[in-house]
Structure 1
Amino acid sequence: MNLPMQIIIPVAIVVGAYLVSFVATFLLDKIRHFTSKTKTTLDDEIIHALHRPARFIFILIGLYIALDYAMPELTFLGLHYSKYIVILAIILSAYLVVRIVGAIFTWYGHEIGPENKNIDKTLFRFLRRFSAVLIYVIALIIVLDRLGIEIGPLLAGLGIAGLAVALALQDTLANVFAGFYVAADKPYEIGDFIEIDTDTNGYVEDIGWRSTIIRTLPNNRIIVPNSKMTQSVIRNFHKGAQEMSVLVQVGVAYGSDLDKVEKVTVEVGKQIQETIEGAVKTHVPFIRYHTFADSSINFSVILRTTEYTGQYLLKHEFIKALKKRYDKERIEIPYPHRVIQNKN
């Protein structure tokens, strides 16, 4: 066979394989069109997972046929080309399995998970990531075996090296193990509103291997290492009953009729509780006098909200309404002042 044909035919094989890969993905799209009409989404997710690996599979097959046709004795770095094809096939197989497992997790999370309240979403995410890592580790071991590298001595060497790496990355590993603890113990979950050591609060946006992401009310993202989370005092406002009391501090002048103040304040509180979004409609507000201050008699108004963030609107509307009603009833809210008596 002349030289031009020896080049043209392998190139044509690779190009043909490339075109066949497009045909394969086209057929998968057609199959997905039919599976979209079934009750379950599992078949749709699996076909979608096969879409990209299918192209790589046909291209790899075409590359193998082309090399076998044109240069059957080709070696590189002392290894026959078929070894590299096998290694690529192992990696591609691992990628395919990861995609299929991911599709199953996606289907389970979207279709079965919402109906099963016993499924922990955080642990579910960890298992998905862990399964992908495990599959790639197994693929790496198989590749090393195909290359003729003995796993036993390598693992022994990795044990010593791993000890050194563990010492160097002890903070990172502490965060990873803390992440497993958070997933298992569930002191908080994604979507919970939490407070850490009284100085940081917000909604849990994500729980990763190394850190937890909190979205604060001003819409800032705070990334907290998991090791710190497990060592901190965490107040979870979404665990148990989410309802909470809201205390508003008020002071009136010493000359005020305290019975009238109580009656008016409770009336305003009832109105707010019944009309404001996020307030507990059935709660009956009440007040408790507690302090003879320098310029006023102080008391607490006890309102109630359905969740932590509802307190801000509740306080806002209550203070506006109370000020307006006090002005109408001529109830004085004093500012700080002192009375000086001259004995002469």
Structure 2
Amino acid sequence: MIQWIIPLAFICAGIIAGLIGEKVIFKKLKTFVTEKEVPGSDIIFQALHRMTFVWFVLAGFFWAILGSPVRPDIANAFQKILTIIFLYSVTLVLARLTSGFVNLLVRRTEGVPTSLLSNLAKIAVLILGTLILLQTVGVQITPIVTTLGIGGLAVGLALQDTLANLFSGFYLVISQQVRTGDYVKLDDGNQGYITDINWRNTTIREISNNVIIVPNSKLASAIFTNYHLPAKEITLTLNVGVSYDSDLELVERVTVEVAKEVMQEIAPELIANEPYMRFHTFNDFSIDYTLYMRVSEFFDQRIGKHLLVKKLHKRYHQEGIQIPFPIRDINLHGN
């Protein structure tokens, strides 16, 4: 029993060191780096989560095996198992880092990342790490790669729809026809914000907060309108008619003033793009015009129209400008 004291001590020391490293050192270092606002620090610490404890425990078991009285062949087997666990943990850390930094890069360039790119990056690192792990422990990977290549043809034939959605997702992301955060309207009338593009589906969130799931292959071949391309800013249009007795110069001045007030409330950054209006029709009961005003994005049209109707109605009433409504005269002739 005495000869097992040192190995057990190494194991206990590894567990204690892992707990201290994870709960104390790792936590304090994370707090320090977060306060310094080091770029990408949250990704690194998320990738290393729990790994400090695992590596210290592995080190404890490794030294315990070296100091234990077990046979060399058993010791070698245990060392190989520890090596596999260590290499897999390193692979997992690299996969997390790759996924996190891919998301960070996409977020900086496009705004909102998609799970498709990050998941594929993580899978690629995991596959590469697994192959390196197998090669390290003495497993020949050439026959495995060959078998996977032949089997991949059969799997590809069996999963044609899945692969079509996968490559369609790639096409949508790379072509940037749609991006997460864009507001789109499909040819079937469904519309909403793109929240994610994964390996099979594109998720669209409606204004009512319902979710529409569209297969990537369907979206890639659909006719749709992207209201965030080429820019998020959009022109709000409002059709109004005023009485034939109105002073059209006054109508134009008052309408543009009200539109500027609304822009100052909902889109002050676009105030340089002054609103304007154009008269266009001598209608049966009114002279009609269309007001054009820039807003920050598609959804802002709702609040913009709401404010315009309220403010125009109030201001027209103050200025004596009438918005006419149809009137029909009925003449009754008696016998």
Length-normalised TM-score, structure 2: 0.75
Deviates more, 1:143-152 or 1:239-248: 143-152
Q: Distance in 2 between matches of 1:80 and 1:198?
A: 62
Q: Is 1:303 matched with 2:303?
A: no
- Give 1:145 shift: 3.4
Deviates more, 1:272-281 or 1:131-140: 272-281
Question: 257, 260, 277: which one pairs with 1:285?
Answer: 277
Aligned pairs for 1:90-105 within 5 A? 90-101=87-98
Question: 122, 132, 136: which one pairs with 2:126?
Answer: 136
- The runs of 5 or more residues in structure 1 that have no matched partner are none
- Matched with 2:260 is 274
- Matched with 2:221 is 231
Aligned pairs for 1:141-156 within 5 A? 141-145=131-135, 149-156=139-146
- The runs of 5 or more residues in structure 2 that have no matched partner are none
Q: Distance in 1 between matches of 2:237 and 2:323?
A: 23
Task: Give SS of 1:217's match.
Answer: coil
Task: Give the 3 Å change call, closer, same or farther, for CA 321–263 of structure 1 in structure 2.
Answer: farther
Deviates more, 1:36-45 or 1:202-211: 36-45
Does the 8 A contact of 1:196 with 1:232 survive in 2?
A: yes
Q: Distance in 1 between matches of 2:210 and 2:248?
A: 40
Task: Give the 3 Å change call, closer, same or farther, for CA 8–95 of structure 1 in structure 2.
Answer: same
Q: Deviations over 1:142-194 (max 9, x none)?
A: 34335654333333322332222222322222222122212221113233222
Task: Give the 3 Å change call, closer, same or farther, for CA 258–206 of structure 1 in structure 2.
Answer: same
Q: Distance in 1 between matches of 2:145 and 2:54?
A: 31
Length-normalised TM-score, structure 1: 0.74
Q: Distance in 1 between matches of 2:236 and 2:37?
A: 46
Deviates more, 1:223-232 or 1:322-331: 322-331
Aligned pairs for 1:41-190 within 5 A? 41=39, 46=44, 49-67=47-65, 69=68, 71-72=70-71, 80-101=77-98, 109=105, 114=108, 119-120=109-110, 128-145=118-135, 149-190=139-180
Does the 8 A contact of 2:201 with 2:213 survive in 1?
A: yes
Q: Distance in 2 between matches of 1:99 and 1:131?
A: 9
Does the 8 A contact of 1:176 with 1:210 survive in 2?
A: yes
Task: Give SS of 1:160's match.
Answer: helix
Q: Distance in 2 between matches of 1:134 and 1:40?
A: 27
- Matched with 1:14 is 11
Q: Distance in 1 between matches of 2:100 and 2:15?
A: 25
- Matched with 1:243 is 234
Q: Distance in 2 between matches of 1:197 and 1:122?
A: 24
Does the 8 A contact of 1:289 with 1:299 survive in 2?
A: yes
Does the 8 A contact of 2:10 with 2:63 survive in 1?
A: yes
Does the 8 A contact of 2:165 with 2:200 survive in 1?
A: yes
Does the 8 A contact of 2:277 with 2:289 survive in 1?
A: no
Q: Deviations over 1:233-287 (max 9, x none)?
A: 232222235231413365x8xxxx5252856754553343022233675212233
Does the 8 A contact of 2:251 with 2:321 survive in 1?
A: no
- Matched with 2:244 is 258
- Matched with 1:191 is 181
2:217 maps to amino acid: S
Q: Distance in 2 between matches of 1:48 and 1:329?
A: 63
Task: Give SS of 1:235's match.
Answer: strand
| Number of equivalences | 323
Does the 8 A contact of 1:269 with 1:318 survive in 2?
A: no
Deviates more, 1:86-95 or 1:39-48: 39-48
Does the 8 A contact of 1:266 with 1:287 survive in 2?
A: no
- Give 1:133 shift: 1.7
Q: Distance in 1 between matches of 2:333 and 2:73?
A: 111
Aligned pairs for 1:2-41 within 5 A? 2=1, 5=2, 10-25=7-22, 26-32=24-30, 35=33, 40-41=38-39
Identical aligned residues as a percent: 27
- Give 1:137 shift: 0.5
